[in-house]
Structure 1
Amino acid sequence: ICNICCNMLQRVRVCVCLCVDVDECVTMCSPPCAYGGSCMRWNVCLCRPGWTGDGCHTAVCELPCANGGRCVAPKTCQCPSDYSGPQCLTPLCSPPCVNGGRCVDINTCSCSDGWTGARCQRGEQIHTFSGLL
């Protein structure tokens, strides 16, 4: 029986198995290369794009994850609960800003004209004075 793994290991192209133990060839990379990586020789993986490290277990994010986020898959950050977005750069307000307010920092809203309050929930009272003679 021709064992491709052994042929690659010995760099021969003829159909001969040079391994004493066939299982030894099957487990060349232990643990196996993850996420579609290929075992090139004993415990050396060739990783697919987006993955790196021993066994191809480490995701690569071209743009770094910020604010304590971590890269969990190619180009995918897992953000802490206070941030969102592709790089964890967008702060979150909980509860959210209302009435057109924007979340500008963790739990800090910037309110639109005419609104006030921690979440922009209160309308400003506009005092107008009639001209008095």
Structure 2
Amino acid sequence: CHTLTADCHMPMQFQCPLHPQGCPGDKYGLLCDKNCICKNGARCHGFNGACKCQHGWQGGGQVFNATVVLNVNCPPNRKGELCDEVCDCLHSASCDRWAGCVCPPGWTGTRCQTQCPEGTYGKGCAKTCGCQNGASCSPSDGRCNCTAGWYGSNCDGACPKSRYGWRCRQVCSCKNNATCHHVDGSCACVPPWGGRNCD
């Protein structure tokens, strides 16, 4: 008999015990006839007897293995052996039956509530940003958002001569061989020239 479905492959007179919610906490197996050996508040898997340790405990015997468990998905936003726990995930995170919230790149935390710290990005915030010159880094993919006067994938290049500002989109108005500042477009005049545009 299968304790979750009551499918029976025994003689007709045999009664199949039905446990639609799974085995009681101290039992496991198809007939819920085996004793669990989990300790320190660990939960016993009703199908294979593996122990799921409480936070702060580990080791000893088997551990939960999703490939051994019945291949049944929980309803949306539910997790746990019996799908009786709520996944309260944020930022479009997915809910895994055993792991809980699976954060998208750029987010971390048990509910994916925390954006990657400054200078890190990606899945689990495990990658380091390479942005320079005060550029910010996208927490999801690591792309650099350059500050005014800088360009390039890492924002390591000053705007080319005659250009300045954000994404080097401004055209310098300096005259008479004056040098244009790549950040704000101010002109450094060559004597005897003066004035805002050295004209």
Q: TM-score range by the shorter chain?
A: 0.3 to 0.5
- Greater relative contact order: 1 or 2 (C-alpha under 8 angstroms, separation 6 or more)? 1
Of structures 1 and 2, the larger Rg is shown by 2
TM-score, length of structure 1 as denominator length? 0.42
TM-score, length of structure 2 as denominator length? 0.32
**As a proportion of its length, which structure holds more helix?**
1
